[in-house]
Chains A and B, each alone.
Chain A
Amino acid sequence: MTISGWIFMLISWAVILGLFIFSMVRTLRPGDKSPNHKKSGFSESAF
């Protein structure tokens, strides 16, 4: 694998993992819901 191949792979992985971690952490973070969200039918337990 060439250096540019590594760069492309690592940047792509970083963008995707960054997006995934950012969105998952915000989704699972308790107590940071908008006031409206409290009215929703969701339970807080993930599994």
Chain B
Amino acid sequence: MARERWGSRLGVILAVAGSAVGLGNFLRSPGIAAQNGGGTFMIPYFVCFFLLGLPLMWIEWTIGRFGGGFEHSTAPGIFHTLWRKNRFIKYFGVIGIFGPTVIFIYYTYIESWLLGYSVFALTGKYASCTDQAGMQEFLRGYQGLADNPHFGGIGTAYLFFLITFALNILVVCVGLRGGIERVCKWGLLVLFVMAIVIAVRVLTLGTPDAAKPDWNPIAGLGFLWNPQWDKLKDANVWLAAAGQIFFTLSAGFGVILTYASYLTKQDDVTLSGLTAAATNEVAEVILGGSIMIPAAFAFIGPQQMQTIVKQGLFDLGFVTMPLVFEKIGWGQYFAFMWFFLLFLAGLTSSISLALPAIAFLEDEFTLTRREAATVFAVATFILIQPVIFFLGNGVLDEMDFWGTSVCLVVFATIEAILFGWVFGMDRAWTEMHKGSDLRIPGVYRWIIKYITPLMLIAILGAWAWQGWKNKMMMTDVNPADKPLVLITRIGLGGLFVFLILMVWIVWKRRPKTTNPQEEQP
């Protein structure tokens, strides 16, 4: 069976950019910047972008294309081709399937809320909520966390979840060109247009309340951008910037690896990697920074903004933004655009999260795309149920911790070391520039070999030191929820062991040498 390929160069770039542009670009990033020094946050942010984000992008694109040449689309097979002499390295590659799958499990559910809210915005379902407390109650009712007049139970949320889940599986099932590539091309185009329209409307709001002339969107931009120089000396700010670059570019998840594996050996990876990263930055810094904080600031003012930003911007997106839009002309349409652009950002990310596990089943168990997608759909559908029904009991947070914080940084560190040190910088450099349309500056040989892995090890150490101990010991978890969180943890451990067993079975069944070229590394 012929290997699937991308239809166009822009298609693969937008698919990778679509994977990177997610909810975090609009709901997480502006808050992180505002909390960590405002304008001065951009100094560590850009340093981390050029020393950590871009190199990781190029590493994932390059080793993905390399592995694809040996008919491998996922990390176990790709790591094995990079270091054939080591028989254990393929098991480390399991992280590149486990992480995206775990994130897919809870991300799809959150994504479905956005579809629900898009519909509610048009139908005026939450129009009776006139303050933050009312909107908060509406959200809790929707999530099934409280009984209130808005919702009789979790039925509505479950319906939107089923639609979102089916849509995700359908897109992946249709295939690379007709499904993922088409959705990402049009999805990102619509997302950018909607974001620009909302940003222009927000920035031209003027002063909504004449009695409070300082509450306006430009002052909101100041809340985000005014520099706080003393923050530059704070190591936590640098750590936050590194973490943000990690999350935003989707580098270190294993999804770019899989996307790039469908390139041919002569397709460019250097310019494509840069273009995908730059597209994500436009969405995050320019569009993401020009919507939520300026809009909310104009209506709720600096003091309340300060409190909300410290709690994280997630509630601001679901609770404050609908109230803001209710107060402007054509508000329901702007609210629809806001939630629908977030839904599209979520969709283009979640389909990329589903692909590694499906591609693994296709490549290593020779299933068809439809069979692999069905197996994946059944398994993840079952695993999502605890997230839906025990949402308020810490299940989602536990999955987020293992899927994002742990897997991401561990996987990226392994990748960087494998690329620069095991595969070897000379070979890596040559491989990177095969068919390339952009010559990467020579200094990046040094950065990729030394700086990027060192930064990753430092982040790994700092995160482990700062927060992992509390998380591992569940000190932040409500005592009543601890058994459920523990069961989730054991379940995730079971899934990881199951994936390792699958890799073991695949390699046991495989002839010793399948391709003489694979002996080269």
Q: Which residues of A are at the interface with B, using a C-beta cutoff of 8 A?
A: 1-2, 4-9, 11-13, 15-17, 19-20, 22-24, 26-28, 32-34, 36-37, 39-47
Contact = CB atoms under 8 A, between A and B. Distances in A.
Contact of B227 (A8, A20, A23, A44): A8
Interface of B: 5-10, 13, 38-40, 42, 46, 185, 218-219, 221-222, 225-227, 263-264, 266-268, 271-272, 274-275, 278-279, 281-282, 285-286, 434-438
A6 to B, nearest CB: 7
A14 B487 CA distance: 49
B38 A8 contact: yes
Contacts of B266: 36-37, 39-40
A9 B282 contact: no
A2 to B, nearest CB: 5
B438 to A, nearest CB: 7
Contact of A1 (B221, B267, B275, B438): B221
A19 B264 contact: no
Contacts of A44: 8
Contact of A40 (B42, B264, B285): B264
**6 closest Cβ pairs, A-B complex:** A8-B39, A1-B222, A5-B226, A23-B275, A20-B278, A36-B435
B38 A5 contact: yes
Contacts of A43: 7-8
A36 B275 contact: no
Contact of A46 (B10, B39, B42): B10
10 contacts: A8-B42, A9-B39, A20-B275, A26-B271, A26-B275, A27-B437, A36-B434, A37-B437, A40-B263, A41-B6
B226 A4 contact: yes
B187 to A, nearest CB: 12
Contacts of B268: 33-34, 37
Given A5-B221, A17-B282, A23 B271 contact: yes
A44 B434 CA distance: 19
A45 B436 CA distance: 19
A28 B225 contact: no
A26 B40 CA distance: 31
B154 to A, nearest CB: 39
A47 B9 CA distance: 10
Nearest to A20: B278
